[in-house]
């Protein structure tokens, strides 16, 4: 079995996959390496396009180490009889914990305080934060990660409201609102957990920001294209949005104008980057390859 791993993976994950066959790890020319490959593994960096697959005559499976399949042309795969799989639940807890970490750090000015002290400042009086206890968290997209975050937020004393058209998880941790506007009007902190689709693209825009509370906080660990960047920039600059913490971007690595603002906090797409999530992803990839390529 020939397997191409196109993107950076943890060493242990690569070692586990090597046990299944002949592995080309991060080949310089992915397209050429696919000529005799049975399986392709990607994270988010490699774009699996029709063009990339043009010479992949033997390819039977594309496995995405992660959740979102927005970097895979699923139609092109289907036409070539290539199955597309993801490791859907493996990073759930890691992303939920990152969303929580970003939220707590932002509300307590942890990132700002760190940078100030590194530059020799002790500016306590300007670093008074807010507590999450008693605040209302609005979760947009109540699937695996949204529900995981809600359980943690509830334990911290937050009221959780959620917007997710049915079918959805009813677990008693969140009050569902029927309309997005109802969530926007009530939430002190909004966390995004929807997939990227034509309906969710730019769902956070000038209009939706105007309906939010003054001084709202936004956390995005879902996908970059869910937020209109110009609208977020204006909202953060004017103070309508007190702070935003962002892990995902339309273009990665991100070099855009939000970097100019002091109340926007950044992580470089770290959602699934925990040792535990990577181990789960590795185990799931091995399972997928064994299952799909047997016989
Ligand atoms: N930052 C990272 O590294 C990282 C890692 C994993 C996943 N993600 C992203 O997190 C997001 C959620 O992942 P998940 O595993 O929880 O997915 P999921 O499929 O379990 O949940 C998504 C939920 O969104 C709901 N939804 C879809 N369209 C909606 C809409 N228009 N309005 C409201 N709700 C809608 C769905 O019904 C579903 O319940 C995805 O965008 C994924 O790409 C990011």
Contact 227, 202 (CB under 8 A): yes
Rg, the chain, Cα only = 21
Q: Decide: 293 and 78 in contact? Cβ < 8 Å.
A: no
Neighbours of 276 (CB within 10 A): 12
The tokens describing 188, both together, are: 């002190």
Active site residue 252: yes
Neighbours of 207 (CB within 10 A): 12
The residue-averaged pLDDT of 237-248 equals 98
pLDDT digits (tens, 9 = 90+) for 259-288: 999 999 999 999 999 999 999 999 999 999
Distance 143 CA to ligand 1 centre (A): 6
Take atom 15 of ligand 1 and give the residue whose Cα is closest: 144
Cβ neighbours for 16, distance < 8 A, ≥ 6 positions apart: 282, 283, 285, 286
Q: Look at ligand 1, atom 39, and give the residue with the nearest C-alpha.
A: 143
Furthest CA-CA distance within the chain: 67
Per residue in 129-173, pLDDT (tens digit) is 999 999 999 999 999 999 999 999 999 999 999 999 998 888 999
Helix (H) / strand (E) containing 182: helix 180-186
Inform me whether the pLDDT recorded for 113 exceeds 90. yes
Element (H, E) at 160: strand 159-163
Angle between helices 11-18 and 275-292 (to 10 degrees): 20
| Choice among 97, 269, 280, 284 that is catalytic | 269
Average pLDDT over residues 78-85: 96
pLDDT of res. 169: 86
Please work out whether the CB of residue 195 comes within 6 Å of at least one atom of ligand 1.
yes
What sign does the dihedral 110-116-120-124 (CA atoms) show?
negative
Query: Is any atom of ligand 1 closer than 6 Å to the C-beta of 64?
Result: no
Nearest residue (by CA) to ligand 1, atom 25, is 141
Mean pLDDT confidence for 113-138? 97
Residue 294 has pLDDT above 90, yes or no: no
Cβ-count burial of 240 within 10 angstroms (0-12 exposed, 13-18 middle, 19+ buried)? middle
Dist. CA 117 → ligand 1 center (Å): 36
Q: Residue 295: is its pLDDT beyond 70?
A: no
Q: Which of 64, 144, 193, 223 is catalytic?
A: 223
Report, as an integer, the average pLDDT of 70-88.
96
Q: What is the DSSP letter of 181?
A: H
Q: Does the annotation count 51 as an active-site position?
A: no
Nearest to 89 by CA among 116, 112, 66: 66
Q: What is the pLDDT of residues 209-234, one digit of tens each?
A: 999 999 999 999 999 999 999 999 99
What average pLDDT does the chain have? 96
Please give the pLDDT value at position 199: 96
SS3 172: coil
Ligand 1 pocket test: which of 69, 92, 193 has the largest number of ligand atoms within 8 Å of its C-beta? 193
Question: Is residue 129 in contact with ligand 1, taking CB distance under 6 Å?
Answer: no
**Cβ count within 10 A of residue 154:** 16
The reported pTM is: 0.94
How confident is the model over 96-109, as a mean pLDDT? 98
Residue 223 known to be catalytic:
yes
Ligand 1 neighbour 199 (Cβ under 6 A): yes
Q: Does the pLDDT value for residue 95 go beyond 70?
A: yes
Please give the pLDDT value at position 68.
87
pLDDT of residue 101: 98
List pLDDT tens digits, range 15-49.
999 999 999 999 999 999 999 999 999 998 999 99
Domain annotation for the chain: domains and CATH numbers: 2-88+275-293 (3.40.50.720), 92-266 (3.40.50.720)
């Amino acid at each position: 079995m020939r397997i191409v791993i196109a993107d950076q993976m943890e060493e242990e994950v690569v070692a586990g996959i090597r046990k299944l066959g002949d592995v080309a790890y991060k080949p310089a020319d992915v397209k050429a390496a696919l000529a005799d490959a049975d399986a392709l593994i990607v994270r988010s960096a490699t774009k699996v396009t029709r063009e990339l697959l043009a010479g992949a005559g033997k390819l039977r499976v594309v496995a995405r180490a992660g959740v979102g399949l927005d970097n895979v042309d699923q139609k092109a795969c289907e036409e070539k009889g290539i199955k597309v799989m993801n490791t859907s639940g493996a990073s759930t807890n890691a992303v939920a914990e990152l969303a929580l970490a970003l939220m707590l750090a932002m509300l307590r000015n942890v990132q700002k305080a760190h940078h100030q002290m590194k530059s020799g400042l002790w500016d306590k009086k300007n670093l008074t934060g807010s507590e999450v206890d008693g605040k209302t968290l609005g979760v947009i997209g109540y699937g695996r990660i949204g529900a995981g975050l809600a359980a943690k937020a509830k334990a911290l004393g937050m009221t959780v409201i959620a917007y997710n058209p049915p079918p959805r998880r009813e677990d008693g941790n969140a009050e569902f609102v029927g309309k997005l506007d109802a969530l926007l009007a009530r939430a002190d902190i909004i966390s995004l957990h929807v997939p990227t689709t034509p309906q969710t693209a730019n769902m956070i825009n000038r209009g939706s920001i105007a309906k939010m509370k003054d001084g709202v906080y936004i956390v995005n660990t879902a996908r970059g294209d869910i937020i209109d960047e110009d609208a977020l920039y204006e909202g953060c600059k004017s103070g309508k949005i007190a702070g935003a913490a962002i892990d995902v971007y339309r273009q990665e690595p991100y070099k855009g104008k939000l970097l100019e603002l002091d109340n926007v906090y950044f992580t470089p797409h770290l959602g699934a980057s925990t040792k535990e999530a990577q181990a789960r992803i590795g185990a799931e990839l091995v399972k997928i390859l064994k299952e799909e390529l047997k016989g």
